[in-house]
Amino acid sequence: MKSLITFVFTLGVSILFSQKKECYDESWKEISCNKNYAYYRLFLNNKLSGGLYKVEDYYKDGTLQMEGSYSDNLYFYKQGEFKYYYENGKNSSIENYANNKLIGEFKKWYPNGQLKWEGRYLNDGNPEYINFWTEDGIQSVKDGDGKFFLKSNDGSFSEGNLKNGKEDGIWKGYMPDLNLTYEDKYDNGIFIEGTSKREGKKYIYTTIQDIPYPQKGNDDLRNFVITNFKFPEKIVKDNYSDAIILVITIDESGKIFDINTENIVDEKVKEKLINTVRKYPGKFIIPKIRGFVTKQTIKLPILIIE
């Protein structure tokens, strides 16, 4: 009887703690775990987290990089607290989500353990910075007022004044991936306009980023795919998930440059789906960042189970 109880308990534990593993390169693109990956993710059984789908990300050496939960089995909608860690094991950041929307308090640390900033997200989704420290512990923003300066190892930086926790006045910065310098004007947290420069050319803009969604809306593309592509019964039966995620890169002219999917393993099904999406007759918004036209990638879930 004792051995039977032990067997049942062990079986129950193995089911409860069942998990799937995925591996990623340095840019967080999924690759085979047989290759030289930089990170890996464990998908923990949702019974452990009150109906949520919990995941843990790790550096290759096994150091925890992130822990958090999603409300859907697409791992698209973040829910609750997400904690991030540096490779040395120290805290990197903490943020909170409700239905994939950032809410509540957030914190960020330097790799040496010094608190970098803390703040909260407002009802409109915009962040309000309350306190900010330099890496050597000097506080330059207190109770929402002061000088904010952020610089990364890749040379990017952003600096400006905070008033009541919000950007105010002129903010300057540099984006190395686009070789773009910029000056943005804010009024009590509201972006007014900006000017950027790249290779001697000047750009004026009133929106920081123009995301290349379909001009007629995301539902127009979804409906086109659902109408023109029949998902094989095997996908629905095996339930990769309730939906597939299209990953579409739009070029500088607003046309489709590249298409991929995140959760279809069958290459033949993937190829047929991609060919269907390429036939979409609708136009996309021209992708821009601070006035400069550049390729951008969007993700769009398509339901396959009603």
285, 260 contact by CB (below 8 A): no
| Boundary-marking domain end, from 84, 113, 142 | 113
As a whole number of angstroms, the distance between CA 41 and CA 65 comes to 9
In a domain, 161, yes or no: no
Instruction: Write down the pLDDT at residue 18.
Output: 52
Instruction: Write down the pLDDT at residue 125.
Output: 82
Handedness of CA 276, 282, 288, 294 (dihedral sign): positive
Sheet with 288-289: strands ordered across: 209-210, 288-289, 292-293
**Positions in the chain whose pLDDT score sits under 70:** 1-19, 45-50, 233-242, 263-265, 304-306
In a domain, 201, yes or no: no
Residues whose CB falls within 8 Å of the CB of residue 46, separated by 6 or more in sequence, listed in order: 52, 53, 54, 73
In a domain, 99, yes or no: yes
In a domain, 159, yes or no: no
Type of residue found at 261 = T
What CATH number should be reported for the domain holding residue 294? 3.30.1150
* 101-121: burial string, b at 16+ Cβ within 10 Å, e else: ebeeebbbbbeeeeebbbbeb
As a whole number of angstroms, the distance between CA 31 and CA 22 comes to 8
Domain encompassing residue 245: 218-303
Q: For 213-223, write each residue's pLDDT tens digit.
A: 999 999 999 99
| Boundary-marking domain end, from 113, 128, 146 | 113
As a whole number of angstroms, the distance between CA 213 and CA 220 comes to 10
Instruction: Write down the pLDDT at residue 198.
Output: 96
In a domain, 178, yes or no: no
In a domain, 187, yes or no: no
In a domain, 66, yes or no: yes
In a domain, 195, yes or no: no
pTM confidence score: 0.74
Type of residue found at 113 = G
Q: How many domains is the chain built from?
A: 2
Nearest to 66, CA basis, from 49, 45, 87: 87
Nearest to 159, CA basis, from 83, 167, 179: 167
Residue with tokens 């775990």: 33
Polymer length of the chain = 306
DSSP string covering the chain, please? -HHHHHHHHHHHHHHHT-EEEEEE-TT--EE-TTS--SEEEEEE-GGGGTT-EEEEEEETTS-EEEEEEESSTTS-SEEEEEEEE-TTSSEEEEEEEETTEEEEEEEEE-TTS-EEEEEEE-TTS-EEEEEEE-TTS-EEEETTEEEEEEE-TTS-EEEEEEETTEEEEEEEEEETTTTEEEEEEEETTEEEEEEEEETTEEEEESSSEE---BTT-HHHHHHHHHHH----HHHHHHTS-SEEEEEEEE-TTSSEEEEEESS---HHHHHHHHHHHHT----BPPPEETTEE--EEEEEEEE---
| Boundary-marking domain end, from 59, 78, 113 | 113
